[in-house]
Structure 1
Amino acid sequence: MLAQYIRASRQTLVRVARQRSAFVSRRTFIIPTAVRQADLVQDMYLRELKSYKPPQVKASDAEGHVQKFAIPNAPASPEEGDIASELKAYESQQVELEGTSTEGTTARVEEDWFEEEPEDEAPTTH
């Protein structure tokens, strides 16, 4: 009985497969039969675009829209007026040397800010 059931199910599957393949092979591509109607607005627009000619550019067209370039004047240096007097003051300065005083007083004692304190030797135990 099991063999009959398997044979019957095979036959059913084969029949279904044939029907599906027959269905697929019967499909055809449907071509629309409507004729393309002319779009009047699009045709007018394309015609105008094709007939458009841009105006010729002249050299004098930019006259009122572009300014003439002029190199700006160089700024005056603020130090130019006193250079001679500052140079004389610099030349007449007295040279300061380290360790000497200009007033004749004793030299300043320098303090050592990074002075390390001696470390106490810790007694070593053996």
Structure 2
Amino acid sequence: MLAQSLRASRQSLVRATRQQVSLTARRTFITPSAVRQADLVQDMYLKELKAYKAPAVKPSDAEGHVQKFTMPTPPKSPEEADIANDLQAYEAQVPEVEGQSAEGESAPVEDWFVEEAEEEEAHH
């Protein structure tokens, strides 16, 4: 009889532990795994951010940062007399032509396309 009572108590103990394991598994699955704690720094930051009010913008605030616009002065037009004198000086110039010597000078004649005779090497 003692063996039967031990066997019965063992079976009831196994059933009870199985029921508790299944209940704890359900409970841990439903409840969140991490408990959210208050973040003091974040709370203070959000409180100060909500309490901040931007200062009003005045039209005179930009005076030190923006330059005043002034129209550029128009360029001076050249005088007609200077243009006529410059044109006469240009027409009076003697054009320089390459290959012709100036008055009284003898220009050296250079031929750029003359090929020098190559030395022949004797290969026997």
Q: TM-score, normalised by structure 2?
A: 0.39
Greater fraction helix: 2
